[in-house]
Structure 1
Amino acid sequence: MRLVASDMDGTIVGHDGRISPRTIEVFQACLDAGVEVVFVTGRPPRWLDPLREQLGHRGTVICSNGAVTYSLHEEKVLSAHLLEHSNILAAREIILDLYPAASFAAETVNGFHIEHGFAEEGAVELLAGAVAMPLADSLAGERVIKFLARERDVLPDHFLNTVRPAVAHLVTATHSAPSIALLEMSMPGIDKAVTLAEFAATRGISQADVVAFGDMPNDVQMLGWAGTGYAMASGHPEAIAAADLLAPAFEDDGVAQILEERLAELKAAR
């Protein structure tokens, strides 16, 4: 084990935005043992406060399902895989043909753009600083890293399974919200695994030496690519099916339990 790659929400971060003290301690123990740590999340760079404030993490974060590599130390985007505006607008029309009540938003390198109806009025975290207007107008000149679609009257998995094949030639679609029908779409061919593989290669770390943790469909490719992939026992069936092994549930500090065991084995082997 030379590199630990961990998802955030539902894997180490709870609904309250907190990371447990035990998990914080074990990530520090990894670093102390010479094991690199990278977080691989669906969150955009603007939502990384749990890593800054609770873990004191200042390293690299792979954001927006692999679309962005971000340095917390420098507070800047290191690389980005950008969506074509024409693909976004074409995917939007296809989704509206399937789900006329769908609403849309887009994450850009510099901000967040939403269409009417995407977020409730009380959603302060979503609405703060957002540009609210039709995407065809607001995205002019913007570098888009993630396109989002929301539907309020359909199950999340059904929404994904219907839309994904219809837009596969335009975007890579996935989802990470367990109870909200919210699709996250990136540049075709980009996912967490692709960018994690690029990151590991820059560090001279082989695939076999990567241990990954995740819990949702947007973690599937990463869990399958890593030398050892752990799905959370509390995770989505697709993630569990994709992983080599099962970690205890998030509520039981599953990531911490596994890393404590692996660090003990690493120490004993030295």
Structure 2
Amino acid sequence: MAGVTPATEQQPEPPATDGAGAVPAAPTVPRLIATDLDGTLLHDDKSVSERTVAALAAAEAAGIDVFFVTGRPARWMTVVSDHVHGHGLAICANGAAVVDLHQGPRFVRVRPLLPEDALAVVHALRAAAPGTAFAVERTGGIHHEPQYPPLSFDAALTLGPVEKLLSEDADQAEQPILKLLAHHPDLAPDDFLAQARASAGAHASFTRSSPSALLEISALGVSKASTLEQCCAERGITRDQVMAFGDMPNDVEMLTWAGMSYAMANAHPAVLAATNRHTLANNEDGVAAVIESVLNR
């Protein structure tokens, strides 16, 4: 993934229109829709609007596969699990896992980060950005250092130094590592991302989706785009038959890969620059607006 342009104070450009104030129509009807969740499909309160539910169902009824492609872990997918239709699959953890939401969720594919690569990242980031705290996201849950900011709704299974969390005798060490997470209390988010890529990019893939300085670190080559490409190849779907939606740096590769890409009006500047097709903001059901325009053709 190319370096991300640092965020500025500029306001996002208004959505591109067809001259009549409407969201621009796709050049062709897609075979697969790939959409991010937070800041894209979901409203800011993490709800799925009735309009969006109807649009997703209509797309599936028209024979268009819909894939949720998110940085979320599988256990956070209950908000949309009822809206995955026939295939039941979603891409989670920025491409590190494909899960069947109809069954558990059940892990169908895992692209793990090896402990030795994660440890190399830890050493490089500690040297480049002192004060960084780490968490380890495994298939069974999250484990983190005491200084890592905790989530009230997703408590750590284990607290301890990251070296211990990555060791062979760590709790749940038999479970694959999906992501290493790195948080810095002081650095600007895009500056932290650029610094991490420069210092540790030889060991892993770096991205971010949080408004804070929280980096999401996967195995080299793992991204939303690369896993989506695998899923499409298995279905005989080419990139020009894929429509994608996103709002944050972890979506840039997917938007660049897909033949029909839309940035949300509320998107990060790097995402707005990744495609010249912009739709309405997430709170205005921008994904649904495009799907409706496709199905109305």
- The normalised TM-score by structure 1 is 0.92
Quick one: distance in 2 between partners of 1:138 and 1:101? 18
Quick one: distance in 2 between partners of 1:186 and 1:73? 25
Q: How much identity, in percent, do the aligned residues show?
A: 38
| Counterpart residue number, 1:124 | 152
SS at match of 2:79: helix
**CA deviation vs aligned residue, 1:155-176 (integer Å, no higher than 9, x gap):** 1111111111211110100000
Using CA pairs below 8 Å that are at least 6 residues apart, which structure has the higher relative contact order? 2
Q: Which runs of 5+ in 2 are unaligned?
A: 1-29
| Counterpart residue number, 1:38 | 67
Query: What amino acid sits opposite 2:252 in the alignment?
Result: V
Quick one: distance in 2 between partners of 1:244 and 1:165? 28
Q: What pairs with 1:94-105 in structure 2 (closer than 5 Å)?
A: 94-105=124-135
SS at match of 1:125: coil
Quick one: distance in 1 between partners of 2:194 and 2:225? 20
SS at match of 1:77: strand
Query: What amino acid sits opposite 2:58 in the alignment?
Result: A
| Counterpart residue number, 1:154 | 187
Quick one: distance in 2 between partners of 1:52 and 1:153? 36
- Cα offset, 1:19, TM superposition: 1.2
Q: Which moved more, 1:81-90 or 1:4-13?
A: 81-90
- Cα offset, 1:138, TM superposition: 2.6
- Alignment check: 8 A CA contact 1:83 1:146 kept: yes
Query: What amino acid sits opposite 2:277 in the alignment?
Result: L
Of the candidates 135, 143, 156, which is equivalent to residue 162 of structure 2? Answer: 135
Q: Which runs of 5+ in 1 are unaligned?
A: 266-270
| Counterpart residue number, 2:17 | none
Quick one: distance in 2 between partners of 1:105 and 1:13? 25
Displacement over 3 Å in runs of 4+: none
Pairing 1:77–2:107 present: yes
Quick one: distance in 2 between partners of 1:158 and 1:6? 26
| Counterpart residue number, 1:230 | 262
- Alignment check: 8 A CA contact 1:228 1:244 kept: no
| Counterpart residue number, 1:92 | 122
Quick one: distance in 1 between partners of 2:292 and 2:73? 29
Query: What amino acid sits opposite 2:259 in the alignment?
Result: G
Quick one: distance in 2 between partners of 1:56 and 1:91? 35
Of the candidates 22, 31, 38, which is equivalent to residue 9 of structure 1? Answer: 38
Of the candidates 187, 192, 198, which is equivalent to residue 165 of structure 1? Answer: 198
| Counterpart residue number, 2:4 | none
Of the candidates 266, 272, 275, which is equivalent to residue 240 of structure 1? Answer: 272
| Counterpart residue number, 2:214 | 182
SS at match of 1:9: helix
- The normalised TM-score by structure 2 is 0.84
Q: Which moved more, 1:56-65 or 1:33-42?
A: 56-65
Query: What amino acid sits opposite 1:156 in the alignment?
Result: P
More helix by share: 1
- Cα offset, 1:191, TM superposition: 0.6
| Counterpart residue number, 1:268 | none
- Alignment check: 8 A CA contact 2:68 2:91 kept: yes
